[in-house]
Amino acid sequence: MTEQEATFQSALTAAFFSSGLASLLTPERGEAFYALYRLLLEENEKYNLTALTSMEDVVLLHFADSLMGADLIPAGASVIDVGCGAGFPSLPLAIVRPDLTVTASDATAKRTAFVGMVAERLGLCGLRTLTGRAEELSRTAHRDAYDVATARAVAALPTLLELCAPFVRKGGLFLALKGRSAMQELEAARHAMGELKCKVRFTEEYDIGEGEAAQARGILLLEKLAPTPATYPRAYARMKSRPL
Ligand code: SAH
């Protein structure tokens, strides 16, 4: 192991330990995360992937942060990550949950190309990519097709729910990885939840990181009780100008 990889493995272990995720780490997964870290930095310029580049930031704010809701996803589930960007949370999920089928989707082909390249290099058989705008993809065979939709840092909750709920089968779940405003967003999304036939199953607020570096986060888990009405999702401009 190189000196850089040894430093990385210590940082990764510390980040997962402080986030209550230590049980998800194995030596093989540690190696996969290191490979992901290297590819993220190497390809960042070409693909414009992330503003976070320090080892400590990447292991905590991309890798550990992506996994904070991982134990809420049922075994063997099919999961769509809506607006995956450089692959968060989809890549960390595929690394620690080989039981899942993960579809990493984004409107930007450059980003899904990066995620697909990483999945191939890391041998993540359970991950595939899907390029397109969520509001268009969910009007195709991808509608009602997934057990779980998840998203991190894509849009405010009413819009996010309109983008994500259509992908989920009846009885399936929507897992939103949110920042400090999670509970306010939930309040603001009551009408959207009614329109999109979803109800809250679980919420949790917590800090990621410790001391000065701690950042507030919130997890929201919703269940889709009935099929999404055919009027949703609306065109993106409409969603933005008249959020539910
Ligand atoms: N989830 C990643 C990326 C967040 S940036 C992370 O947490 O790091 C938001 C991403 O959502 C961008 O890559 C953008 O292309 C994508 N996005 C925004 N609106 C979208 C839409 N309507 N359909 C598909 N992707 C969208």
82 CA distance to ligand 1 centroid (A)?
7
Q: Give pLDDT, residue 135.
A: 97
Instruction: Report the candidate in 138, 74, 68, 73 with the shortest Cα–Cα distance to residue 105.
Output: 138
Closest residue CA from atom 16 of ligand 1: 83
Q: Give pLDDT, residue 119.
A: 98
- Cα separation of 237 and 112, whole Å? 23
140 CA distance to ligand 1 centroid (A)?
19
Q: Give pLDDT, residue 99.
A: 98
Question: Residues in the chain with pLDDT < 70?
Answer: none
pTM strictly above 0.85:
yes
What pairing do the DSSP bridges indicate for beta strands 198-208 and 215-224?
antiparallel
Closest residue CA from atom 13 of ligand 1: 85
198 three-state secondary structure: strand
DSSP string, 138-194: TTTTTTT-EEEEEEESSS-HHHHHHHHGGGEEEEEEEEEEE-TTHHHHHHHTHHHHH
Q: Give pLDDT, residue 39.
A: 96
Best of 154, 215, 232, 240 for a ligand 1 pocket test (most atoms within 8 Å of beta carbon): 154
- Looking at residue 197, what DSSP letter applies? T
- Cα separation of 80 and 77, whole Å? 10
- The answer to whether residues 93 and 70 touch, using CB atoms and an 8 Å cutoff, is yes
Q: Give pLDDT, residue 46.
A: 83
Q: Give pLDDT, residue 210.
A: 87
Phi, psi dihedrals of residue 23, rounded to the nearest 5° = -65, -15
Closest residue CA from atom 1 of ligand 1: 84
122 CA distance to ligand 1 centroid (A)?
23
- Cα separation of 24 and 141, whole Å? 33
How many other C-beta atoms lie within 10 A of the C-beta of residue 41?
14
Instruction: Report the candidate in 105, 108, 129 with the shortest Cα–Cα distance to residue 118.
Output: 129
| Ligand 1 pocket at CB < 6 A | 83-85, 88, 106-108, 111, 133-135, 152-154, 163, 236
Closest residue CA from atom 14 of ligand 1: 83
Q: Give pLDDT, residue 158.
A: 95
| Ligand 1 atom nearest residue 134's Cα | 23
The number of C-alpha atoms within 13 Å of 26 and in the hemisphere containing its C-beta is 6
136 CA distance to ligand 1 centroid (A)?
14
Q: For tokens 């999404």, what's the residue?
A: 228
Q: What is the mean pLDDT of the chain?
A: 96
- Tens of pLDDT, residue by residue over 123-145, are 999 999 999 999 999 999 999 99
Closest residue CA from atom 9 of ligand 1: 154
Q: Give pLDDT, residue 52.
A: 87
